[in-house]
Amino acid sequence: MVSQYACDHPDRVAVLAAGAGLRAGAPRQDADGSFVPDTTTCQPGRPVPVLSFSGIADPVNPYPGGGAPYWGYGAEAAAKQWAVLDGCRRGPRTTAVSQHVSRVQYSSCRKNADVVSYVIQDGDHTWPGSHATWPDALGPVTREIDANEIMWRFLRTHTDCAT
């Protein structure tokens, strides 16, 4: 929901930060039957910095796409579309953060509105670094990164993009 809010109200959002559910508009099927972001449903009118966390093994919002009809396309397609919306000229650049976590970044974007995704290889539909008790169906929580700390750093360094 926060992704669509950023699409519809970029003037009210300094940064888009999403865990296990980054969107860049509603899903639509293209000519070959694949799901892609519907570009008519996300036209923010200004660059919006984006940070997301996704697990490759997420059973709720599958990383490559699929699942419930409202998901449709995957996390990579969403990040790529935000990079287009933000006018990013570099990326994706993938960097290993830890044994099971990679950082995928699009940079050189308008107004410094980078698009950064943390991809957890064995990750499921949980919050990285959390000490909360999650239902077993959502999978294990990685402690290799702390999503709260990463998000706070991102928010601090990208709040000037809204002006």
**pLDDT tens digits along 84-124:** 999 999 999 999 999 999 999 999 999 999 999 999 998 88
Q: How many domains does the chain have?
A: 1
- Return the residue matching tokens 């639509």: 28
pLDDT for residue 70: 84
CA distance 106 to 75: 14
Q: Dihedral of the CA atoms 46, 147, 152, 149 (nearest 10)?
A: -160
pLDDT for residue 67: 85
Report percent pLDDT > 90 for the chain. 74
Report percent pLDDT > 70 for the chain. 96
- Which amino acid, 83? A
Please give the residue range of the domain that contains residue 96.
Answer: 2-162
In tens, the pLDDT along 44-71 reads: 999 999 999 999 999 889 999 998 888 8
pTM over 0.85: yes
CA distance 147 to 163: 25
pLDDT for residue 161: 58
- Residues 6 or more apart whose Cβ sits within 8 Å of residue 62: 71, 74
Average pLDDT over the chain, rounded to an integer: 92
Rounded to the nearest 5 degrees, what angle is found at the Cα of 79, between the Cα atoms of 105 and 149?
55
Q: Which residues of 65-89 are buried (b: 16+ CB within 10 A; e: fewer)?
A: beeeeebbbbbbbbbbbbbebbebe
pLDDT for residue 160: 65
What is the rounded end-to-end Cα distance, in angstroms, of the chain?
23
Most confident by average pLDDT, 33-37, 39-43, 159-163? 39-43
CA distance 142 to 120: 8
